[in-house]
Structure 1
């Protein structure tokens, strides 16, 4: 799967661009889209506004971690994996028996959007299972992404040379698109425009970026971690810049 959003929409954390050789080797959104379609010509591909896009291929799909994409009320959602408490969630959101995980996620997002201010972690923490997702509200131009507590699904994000934000479950694809300006999306976390990167497992603790350096002192990568030593007075709501703490103790892999 692949989702790409321009900088004005995605507003990725600046730390993704820190690796010194990352952005020089990155590709444009058009190049990334063309590469994906050439590799998987039978994929489901949605062109969004301003060169943004979302796409899913079922090639090499694990039966335990299926991929799906759903569009409801101009909300696009790619979901990878399964939810163990689907019956409970369907009843909670008033959905039919035929509803899929992506449909549940869209309903959860609508709660966040329509009942604001409503902490995102209060909704996402109810999801039990192995999953990763990317959602895009085409009306509000808001991206929303998350990964389960255990990091069961291979899920990465990165930044291109023009500042676009990318999500993918294919590490080779995202590394080719972003160079070294990419990282594993931290388990138990969500990213949403307006809230930035937050942990739904530890919502009262900040998330920060930790840089890695090579033997020459050059930044060669970034990981995102939860700071369990610093407790917030409230859940951060002012964007990604407010979510980078001073000390982190749990490394996201």
Structure 2
């Protein structure tokens, strides 16, 4: 799968663009899309506003981590992997037995957006399984991505030549498209445009970017990890849609 969001929408962490070695190899979103489509003839392309897009392919799919997409009420979700507690989640959200993992994640997002009295980290924490997902809400221009706490499913992100955010479960696509301006998406974390990168197991601790330097002192790569020695001041959690935005901002990563 592949998802690309222009800079103003994706709001990628600035640290993704720090590596100076090999950054000249990054490509434009259109070039990245062409590379992906040339490698996967079965691709289904979903064009979104402002040049954003999501693409799903089942080629070279890991049978243990199947890919799926679900679209409802202008919400697009690509889900990779499986959830072990599907039955419990269907019951909790009042969904039919046919509801897939992608449908469950979209419903969880809608509850958070519209009426939940708890923050997004609590909902993602309730997902038991091996997964990575990307949600884009076209109505609110909200991007929401997460990866399971063990990092069982391949999931990487990077910056295209124009600063767009690029996400994929194929590391080769990220390398070809973003060069060194890329990194594994940190396990146990979620990302929302506007509020940043957060650990859903440790939502009150910052997620920091760690840089690796080469022998010449140039930043060669960046990775992200939870800083358990830092703590973000918390505020009382009072329900409604405003809490969804406010709490996410307080818990935001960097």
- Which position in structure 2 is the counterpart of 1:247? none
**Kindly tell me: are residues 22 and 12 of structure 1, through their superposed partners in 2, closer, same or farther at Cα, counting changes over 3 Å?**
farther
Matched-pair contact (CA < 8 Å) for 1:23–1:160: no
Q: What do residues 39-96 of structure 1 show as CA deviations (whole Å, max 9, x unaligned)?
A: 1121121111122110111111111100001111111100000000000000111111
- Which position in structure 2 is the counterpart of 1:112? 112
| Rounded Cα–Cα distance in structure 2 between residues aligned with 1:68 and 1:113 | 22
| Rounded Cα–Cα distance in structure 1 between residues aligned with 2:192 and 2:249 | 11
Task: Verify: 1:146 aligned to 2:156, yes or no.
Answer: no
Matched-pair contact (CA < 8 Å) for 1:194–1:239: no
- Which position in structure 2 is the counterpart of 1:225? 225
Task: Verify: 1:183 aligned to 2:193, yes or no.
Answer: no
Matched-pair contact (CA < 8 Å) for 2:156–2:185: yes
Residue segments in structure 2 that go unaligned for 5+ positions in a row = 236-246
Task: Verify: 1:194 aligned to 2:194, yes or no.
Answer: yes
- Which position in structure 1 is the counterpart of 2:242? none
- Which position in structure 2 is the counterpart of 1:93? 93
Residues 25-36 of structure 1: matches in 2 within 5 Å? 25-36=25-36
Query: Once superposed, which parts of structure 1, at least 4 consecutive aligned residues long, lie more than 2 Å away?
Result: 115-118, 235-240
Matched-pair contact (CA < 8 Å) for 2:21–2:218: no
- Which position in structure 2 is the counterpart of 1:136? 136
Matched-pair contact (CA < 8 Å) for 1:30–1:51: no
Indicate the RMSD between aligned Cα atoms, in angstroms. Answer: 1.6
How many residue pairs are counted as aligned between the two chains?
243
Residue aligned with 1:173, SS? helix
| Rounded Cα–Cα distance in structure 2 between residues aligned with 1:19 and 1:67 | 30
- TM superposition score normalised by structure 2: 0.91
Shift of 1:238: 3.5
| Rounded Cα–Cα distance in structure 2 between residues aligned with 1:203 and 1:10 | 21
- Which position in structure 2 is the counterpart of 1:243? 253
Residue aligned with 1:205, SS? coil
Q: What do residues 70-126 of structure 1 show as CA deviations (whole Å, max 9, x unaligned)?
A: 111111100000000000000111111000000000011112211367411011110
Residue segments in structure 1 that go unaligned for 5+ positions in a row = 245-253
| Rounded Cα–Cα distance in structure 1 between residues aligned with 2:26 and 2:116 | 36
- Which position in structure 2 is the counterpart of 1:7? 7
- TM superposition score normalised by structure 1: 0.92
- Which position in structure 2 is the counterpart of 1:69? 69
